[in-house]
C-alpha cells in the first residue's frame, strides 16, 4: 500500500502545497439510467459491484474526460489525480463514468490514458477561451448560460480537440455527438452536432471569433484574459507587475503542456546515471538538469516511467527543479537538526533527508495527519526514515508548546500557487484576489511560529511556489520589521547566480528558467 500511495504523493508533491481548494462534493447520478442494474454478491475481500450496460459506441477517453471535467469543476477534484492504469483517487476511473453517465465503455488503453491527460488538462487551461467560442456560436447567450454541465463539458472537449489538437473534425463531431446522445438524450446530440459543425466551418475559413485588444486597460485585460484563458484579475495584476509582453509570455507558458523533472533517490543509492540508464531502456526522451545533480527533465513519457514502476520502487520521485533549488537554499548536511514546518506532501522533506546520509534528525510537522502518515510510509520506501520524525500538529500551537530548537528550519508556506499554474491547470479558476489577503495573514502567523524554532545562529528559510511579491519579498520585509533578531543571508553560495535576486533571495521564473515559479529567503538568527 505504501508503494501505491507514494506514487500519488510524489506525482503531486510540488503541485499541491498551495492554499486550500474546494472540498470534494458528490456528483449526482442522472435521474434515469440508460441501463438496468444487477446486484452482485459481496465477498469479504471485495466491495459490492454493480454491473452496468457496456457501451462500445462511445470512445472511452471522451467519456472519462467528460466525467473527469465534471468532477474537477463541480466537485473540487484535482486535475492531476490521474495515475497509472487510469485510476484516480483510489477508484477505477470507469466507476466514475458508470455512476455519472449510466453506462461503462471499454477500459482505457495506454493511448486513451494519454489522451485523457491531454484533453482534461488542455480543456481546463483553455476553458475561458473555449467558453467564449461556444457562447459565440450558440443562438443566444441565455442558451449558453443555462447549459447543463455535462453538455457544456462535451462541447468544451469537442472545441478543444478541433481548435487546439487539430484532430480530424469528422471524428470529433461524430464521437462527441454519440457521447451526448447516450449520456443525455438525442436532442443534446443534435445540439452538439450543429454547434461543432458550425465551428468546423469557421475554423476551415480561418474566421473564428476573437475579442479585440483595444480600449482602456480594463478592456484590454478582459480581451487578454479570453485570448490566453486566465482570470481577469490575474491578467491585470501581471500586466501591472511585469508589463503586457511578459504577462503574455507567462500565460503562454501556463497554457503549454507541462514538463516534469524526476529526482534520483540518492537515499536508496540511486544516481542520476542510474536513472538515465533506465530512461534509455524505456526509450523516454530526457535532458539532464543544468542546475541540480540528481535531476532529469522529461517532457513526454512520464506515464511510461510510472507504468515501469520506477516511482513505486522508490528509485525516483517527481519533483520540480524549482523545489529542488529551495532545498539547496536550506543546504541540509549530515548531522544537522532540521525542522520542516509544513512538510506534507513531503517532496522537500524526503529530498532533504536523502542529503543527510543517515546522520542527524529531520522533524516533519504538518497539521494533516493523513498526509503526514503517507510521508512516513514513503520515507520507508525511500530508505530515509531513519532521520525523519513526523509530528502531526498545527505549527502555531507546536511552536508555543514545545522547546524544540533546530539548526535549520524550513517554512514552505501555503500560498496562492501562482508559480505552478502550468501543472495545476485548475488552480487558476479556483483562486480569487481575496485569497491572497487571507494567505498573507496565514503566512505571517506561520513565519512568527517558525522563528521560535530556530537556534541562535541558526537558519530560517521561508519559501513559496508563488511569483507574487506580496507573498514573497513583502512578507519577508514585514517579518524582519517584527523580528530584528533575524537578517538576510544571501543565497548566492547555494544556487546558481541566475536565480539570485538583487536582495539575495532565490527566485525561479517560469518564462526565464523553464520551470515552476518559486521563491525562498534565507534568514539567520543573530540572537
User: What is the spatial distance between Cα 252 and Cα 261, in angstroms, rounded to a whole number?
Assistant: 20
Q: Which candidate, 333, 394, 339, places its Cα nearest to that of 364?
A: 339
pLDDT exceeds cutoff 50 at 513: yes
DSSP 86: G
Q: Which candidate, 22, 24, 23, 27, places its Cα nearest to that of 183?
A: 27
Q: Is residue 184 part of a domain?
A: yes
- State the pLDDT at residue 314: 96
- State the pLDDT at residue 12: 41
Sign of CA dihedral 57, 60, 66, 68: positive
Contacts of 40 (CB under 8 A, 6+ apart): 48, 49, 50, 51
pLDDT in tens, 459-483: 999 999 999 999 999 999 999 999 9
Q: Are residues 221 and 233 in the same domain?
A: yes
Report in angstroms the alpha-carbon separations of 472 from 238, 257, 362, 413, 461. 15, 26, 25, 10, 12
Task: Using a pLDDT cut of 70, give the percent of the chain over it.
Answer: 87
Burial 340-352 (b: 16+ CB within 10 A, else e): bbbbbbbbbbbbb
Q: Are residues 152 and 225 in the same domain?
A: no
Q: Are residues 182 and 75 in the same domain?
A: yes
pLDDT exceeds cutoff 90 at 423: yes
- State the pLDDT at residue 375: 96
Residues in a beta bridge with 45: none
Instruction: Decide the pairing of beta strands 260-264 and 87-88.
Output: unpaired
pLDDT exceeds cutoff 80 at 17: no
pLDDT exceeds cutoff 80 at 31: no
Report in angstroms the alpha-carbon separations of 229 from 121, 135, 252, 367. 13, 15, 9, 34
Q: What is the mean pLDDT of the chain?
A: 89
**CA–CA–CA angle 62, 63, 68 (5° rounding):** 95
Q: Is residue 412 part of a domain?
A: yes
The per-residue DSSP string of 234-278 comes to HHHHHHHHH-HHHHHHHHHHHHSPPPEEEEE-GGGT--HHHHHHH
Q: Which three cell numbers stand for residue 487?
A: 537578517
Backbone angles phi, psi at 298, to 5 degrees: -135, 120
- State the pLDDT at residue 19: 64
Q: Which three cell numbers stand for residue 288?
A: 539532464
- State the pLDDT at residue 28: 37
- State the pLDDT at residue 74: 83
pLDDT exceeds cutoff 90 at 27: no
Q: Are residues 248 and 392 in the same domain?
A: no
pLDDT in tens, 315-355: 999 999 999 999 999 999 999 999 999 999 999 999 999 99
Q: Is residue 17 part of a domain?
A: no
| Residue 145 three-state SS | helix
pLDDT exceeds cutoff 80 at 205: yes
Q: What is the CATH number of the domain that holds 307?
A: 3.30.70.1170
Domain-terminating residue out of 318, 337, 352: 318
**CA–CA–CA angle 422, 426, 431 (5° rounding):** 100
Residues in a beta bridge with 391: 365
Residues in a beta bridge with 506: 500, 520
- State the pLDDT at residue 49: 40
Mean pLDDT of 489-513: 98
Q: Are residues 68 and 104 in the same domain?
A: yes
- State the pLDDT at residue 94: 85
Backbone angles phi, psi at 420, to 5 degrees: -120, 25
- State the pLDDT at residue 75: 73
pLDDT exceeds cutoff 90 at 1: no
Q: Residues within the annotated binding site for S-adenosyl-L-methionine?
A: 342-348, 366, 394, 412
Q: Which candidate, 152, 127, 128, 150, places its Cα nearest to that of 138?
A: 152
Q: Is residue 110 part of a domain?
A: yes
- State the pLDDT at residue 195: 97
User: What is the spatial distance between Cα 270 and Cα 257, in angstroms, rounded to a whole number?
Assistant: 28
pLDDT exceeds cutoff 70 at 102: yes
Q: Which three cell numbers stand for residue 308?
A: 515501469
Q: Are residues 355 and 395 in the same domain?
A: yes
pLDDT in tens, 352-381: 999 999 999 999 999 999 999 999 999 999
- State the pLDDT at residue 77: 62
Burial of 446 (0-12, 13-18, 19+ CB in 10 A): buried
pLDDT in tens, 227-266: 999 999 999 999 999 999 999 999 999 999 999 999 999 9
Q: Are residues 141 and 243 in the same domain?
A: no
pLDDT exceeds cutoff 60 at 43: no
- State the pLDDT at residue 52: 57
What is the domain extent for residue 350?
321-525
The per-residue DSSP string of 91-128 comes to EEHHHHHHHHHSSB-PPP-HHHHHHHHHHHHHHHHTHH
Name the band, by pLDDT with cuts 50, 70 and 90, for residue 111.
confident
Cβ atoms 62, 157 nearer than 8 A: yes
Q: Are residues 69 and 129 in the same domain?
A: yes
pLDDT in tens, 53-96: 899 999 999 999 999 999 998 876 665 544 434 444 334 678 88
pLDDT in tens, 299-309: 889 989 998 99
Cβ atoms 446, 520 nearer than 8 A: no
Q: What is the CATH number of the domain that holds 401?
A: 3.40.50.150
- State the pLDDT at residue 415: 97
- State the pLDDT at residue 298: 95
Spacing of C-alpha 455 from chain mean position: 34
Cβ atoms 109, 54 nearer than 8 A: no
Q: Is residue 451 part of a domain?
A: yes
The per-residue DSSP string of 209-226 comes to ------SSHHHHHHHHHH
Q: Are residues 369 and 313 in the same domain?
A: no
Work out how many domains the chain is built from and give that number: 4
Q: Which candidate, 15, 13, 18, 17, places its Cα nearest to that of 435?
A: 18
- State the pLDDT at residue 114: 87
Q: Is residue 3 part of a domain?
A: no
- State the pLDDT at residue 79: 57
Q: Are residues 388 and 251 in the same domain?
A: no
Q: Is residue 68 part of a domain?
A: yes
Length of the chain in terms of residues written = 527
Q: What is the CATH number of the domain that holds 109?
A: 1.10.940.10
Cβ atoms 214, 206 nearer than 8 A: no
Which residues are catalytically annotated?
465
Spacing of C-alpha 41 from chain mean position: 39
Q: Are residues 517 and 387 in the same domain?
A: yes
Q: Are residues 288 and 329 in the same domain?
A: no
- State the pLDDT at residue 132: 97
Q: Is residue 339 part of a domain?
A: yes
- State the pLDDT at residue 143: 85
Task: Using a pLDDT cut of 90, give the percent of the chain over it.
Answer: 79
pLDDT in tens, 113-170: 889 999 999 999 999 999 999 999 997 788 888 999 999 999 999 999 999 999 999 9
Amino acid at each position: 500500500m505504501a508503494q501505491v500511495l507514494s506514487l500519488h504523493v510524489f506525482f503531486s508533491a510540488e503541485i499541491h502545497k498551495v492554499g486550500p481548494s474546494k472540498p470534494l462534493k458528490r456528483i449526482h447520478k442522472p435521474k434515469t439510467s440508460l441501463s438496468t442494474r444487477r446486484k452482485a454478491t459481496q465477498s469479504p475481500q471485495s466491495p459490492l459491484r454493480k454491473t452496468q450496460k457496456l457501451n462500445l459506441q462511445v470512445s472511452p477517453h471522451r467519456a472519462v474526460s467528460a466525467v473527469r471535467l465534471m468532477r474537477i469543476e463541480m466537485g473540487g477534484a484535482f486535475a492531476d489525480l490521474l495515475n497509472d492504469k487510469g485510476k484516480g483517487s483510489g477508484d477505477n476511473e470507469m466507476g466514475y463514468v458508470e455512476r455519472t453517465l449510466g453506462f461503462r465503455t471499454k477500459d482505457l488503453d495506454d493511448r486513451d490514458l494519454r489522451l485523457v491527460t491531454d484533453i482534461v488538462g488542455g480543456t481546463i487551461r483553455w476553458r475561458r477561451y473555449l467558453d467564449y467560442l461556444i457562447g459565440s456560436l450558440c443562438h443566444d447567450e441565455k442558451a449558453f448560460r443555462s447549459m447543463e454541465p455535462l453538455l457544456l463539458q462535451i462541447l468544451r472537449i469537442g472545441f478543444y480537440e478541433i481548435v487546439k489538437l487539430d484532430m480530424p473534425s469528422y471524428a470529433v463531431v461524430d464521437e462527441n455527438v454519440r457521447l451526448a446522445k447516450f449520456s443525455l438524450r438525442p436532442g443534446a446530440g443534435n445540439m452538439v452536432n450543429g454547434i461543432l459543425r458550425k465551428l468546423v466551418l469557421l475554423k476551415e475559413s480561418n474566421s473564428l471569433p476573437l475579442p479585440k485588444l483595444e480600449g482602456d486597460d480594463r478592456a484590454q485585460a478582459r480581451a487578454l484574459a479570453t485570448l490566453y484563458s486566465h482570470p481577469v484579475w490575474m491578467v491585470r495584476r501581471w500586466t501591472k507587475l511585469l508589463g503586457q509582453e511578459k504577462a503574455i509570455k507567462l500565460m503562454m507558458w501556463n497554457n503549454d503542456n507541462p514538463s516534469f523533472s524526476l529526482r534520483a533517490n540518492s537515499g536508496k543509492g540511486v544516481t542520476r546515471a542510474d536513472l538515465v540508464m533506465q530512461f534509455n531502456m524505456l526509450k523516454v526522451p530526457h535532458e539532464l538538469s543544468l542546475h541540480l545533480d540528481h535531476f532529469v527533465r522529461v517532457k513526454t513519457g512520464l506515464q511510461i516511467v510510472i507504468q515501469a514502476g520506477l516511482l513505486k520502487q522508490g528509485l525516483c520521485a517527481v519533483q520540480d527543479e524549482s523545489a529542488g533549488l529551495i532545498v539547496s537554499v536550506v543546504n541540509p548536511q549530515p548531522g544537522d537538526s532540521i525542522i520542516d514546518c509544513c512538510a506534507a506532501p513531503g517532496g522537500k522533506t524526503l529530498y532533504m533527508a536523502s542529503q543527510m546520509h543517515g546522520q542527524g534528525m529531520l522533524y516533519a510537522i504538518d497539521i494533516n495527519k493523513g498526509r503526514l502518515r503517507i510521508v512516513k510510509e514513503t520515507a520507508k520506501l525511500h530508505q530515509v526514515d531513519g532521520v525523519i520524525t513526523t509530528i502531526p500538529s498545527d505549527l502555531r500551537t507546536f511552536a508555543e508548546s514545545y522547546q524544540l530548537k533546530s539548526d535549520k528550519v524550513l517554512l514552505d508556506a501555503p500560498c496562492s500557487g501562482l508559480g505552478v499554474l502550468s501543472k495545476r491547470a485548475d488552480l487558476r479558476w479556483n483562486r480569487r484576489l481575496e485569497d491572497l489577503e487571507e494567505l498573507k495573514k496565514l503566512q505571517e502567523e506561520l513565519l512568527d511560529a517558525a522563528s521560535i524554532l530556530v537556534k541562535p545562529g541558526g537558519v530560517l528559510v521561508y519559501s513559496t511556489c508563488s511569483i507574487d511579491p506580496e507573498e514573497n519579498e513583502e512578507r519577508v520585509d514585514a517579518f524582519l520589521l517584527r523580528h530584528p533578531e533575524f537578517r538576510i543571508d544571501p543565497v548566492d553560495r547555494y544556487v546558481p547566480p541566475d536565480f539570485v535576486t538583487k536582495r539575495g533571495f532565490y527566485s525561479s521564473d517560469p518564462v526565464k528558467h523553464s520551470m515552476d515559479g518559486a521563491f525562498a529567503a534565507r534568514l539567520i538568527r543573530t540572537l
